[in-house]
Structure 1
Amino acid sequence: MVPRRALVLLLPLLVMGCAGRGERAAPAPLALRFGAALEAADPSADALVTRVDEFERMVLREDAAIAFAEGGRKAGPARLHPPLAGAAEAAGRVLMPAFTALGDYGHGLAQLADGEPVEPRSGPSGAQLARAAEDGLLAVRQASGTSVPEAVRRAGLEGIMALSDLSDGMAAAGRNASLNATIAEAAPHVTAVAALLRAVIGAETGQGTRGAIQARREGLDAQQTRFLGAVAADRRLGVAERYAIYRGVAAMRDDDPAQGSFGALVEVLASLEAAHAALATRSADAETKVAAFEAAVAQLGAMAEASRRN
């Protein structure tokens, strides 16, 4: 039996191995490819949310540092506090259990498509994941003011629970589990979870968590601009000191991962929905849609790997 997450690593190696022998590798079943890609999206999404959270905390520290520097003697003694949690961490408390549920479904689907017995899940139950996401939605509302419509919230939480528990249903059914029936059963839940995550992230740049982080970043940009103006006007500072301060501010602005990371997640959600719908309806363009989803997940993985190196 192929262990959890191993399919993500094995599929490319199997293709390369066959090609190396001069044989044409048979394409993996679309549902197997889709399930493997869906499972691979889970750790990549977690890594990107963690990276954005780290950046947002740095923004908060920078904001406090500039306020202290501009205050001069009036600022009083420095009081250091633990870094504050922000909008990205709150969003992660919804995204992480949701992607775990999607990954559970993807893992079971890949095993079923590969003709293997489906393993029961070993992690939190679907109900536990849904409760964690529900708590996360409260944190999102407090941190960024993002309020998810009640119908979207309810359907999304039900979808998280259902998708995670589908693997157990596949395992219990054994050889009687039907691939097509499983995909059809999952279809409304995949759509609901994607809608929930889009509402939390923000479908567009200025919406949801993306909008809150953008507003915070724009506020810091304005503060940094004023600070650089004060630095330029302070003749007590030498050229080298002003240069170092400017370079530090510019480097931080260039390091902003938020919009690109959340944009990649929104793209994954869109291609996920399209690919799963194509599988559910067995449409003629299912191959194209699944390939697009694989490409979006690969891009997400590349960004996650880059974030780990930073």
Structure 2
Amino acid sequence: MSAPQRPVILNQLGPELGKALEEHPSRPVVIQDSVPAEPWKIAPEADILVTGGFASWKQAPRDWRFPERLKWVQSQTTGIEIYPPTLLRDRVMTCGRGLNALPIAEFVFAAILRSEKRLDETRARSEADWRRHDIGRVYGKTLGLIGYGSLGQAIARRALAFDMNVMVNRRTPWEGDGGIVAAGIDEIFAAADHLVIAAPLTAETEGLIDRKLLGAAKPGLHLINISRGGLVDQQALVAALVAGDIGSATLDVTTPEPLPDGHPLYTLPNVFISPHISWAGGDQDQAFQQRLMKNLDAYLKGEELEALVDPVRGY
């Protein structure tokens, strides 16, 4: 990959990041276009695009093409399904893979502990509430993971620290290690007490969690989705929750986002919905800036970039 002596960068992520880019030793020309209404309208002189998962990307015209001069796109997000398909085919793209793994892993365990320890139900508000409650435990329980990238690995490490059994399904063939068992999705649904969806949304994984899998789940299963709502057949999920095929669900992602008022998932007592915030609470902005600068250095030297998106796999 050839790089210009003084790169031209279109920055769509705000003036603070733009200032940091301007201070890079290569003295890039930085074009600011913060929170663009039409992010696909890229200055033809730009060599690099720094962007995020703006909902407005969905409005890009079907026949649109990236400018010829644009060689590299750095996305702040991990998931890239929101971007036009031509982006993967025509340009080098890097993403935010792994940058949010730690806060999301913490969120997952907050959800697991909330479920097992029944924190909402056992809080004492009066003298009458001082009575025995039946609450659960985490040690000895089985955690299932659908997806085992940086996020799945961060969750698994914490599960092992809690003395949980860990079962993992991933796309790449793998034998398991360190007390982690590789298994098929159906095996995981049949055995897991808590099951986390941590896989990317692609054409192959859309609707992966369907009526059949939900119907074969271990009784009382707690399903946690912190990936993308599209991996779950949401209608089937509602039916499984109502029928008792699974015990409960923690959903940080849904389809669509936000869910419209009156959606049945809002009304089910065994569903906890958060507004796609499991990634929050960390130092993601700083981590992203560090990755961007590291990748910019590599780009200018013609070296391999970090967190490359595979155009075949789509993540």
TM-score normalised to structure 1 length: 0.30
When you count helix as a share of all residues, which structure comes out higher? 1
Greater length-normalized contact order (CA 8 Å, ≥ 6 residues apart)? 1
When you count strand as a share of all residues, which structure comes out higher? 2
Q: Which has the higher Rg, Structure 1 or Structure 2?
A: 1
TM-score normalised to structure 2 length: 0.30
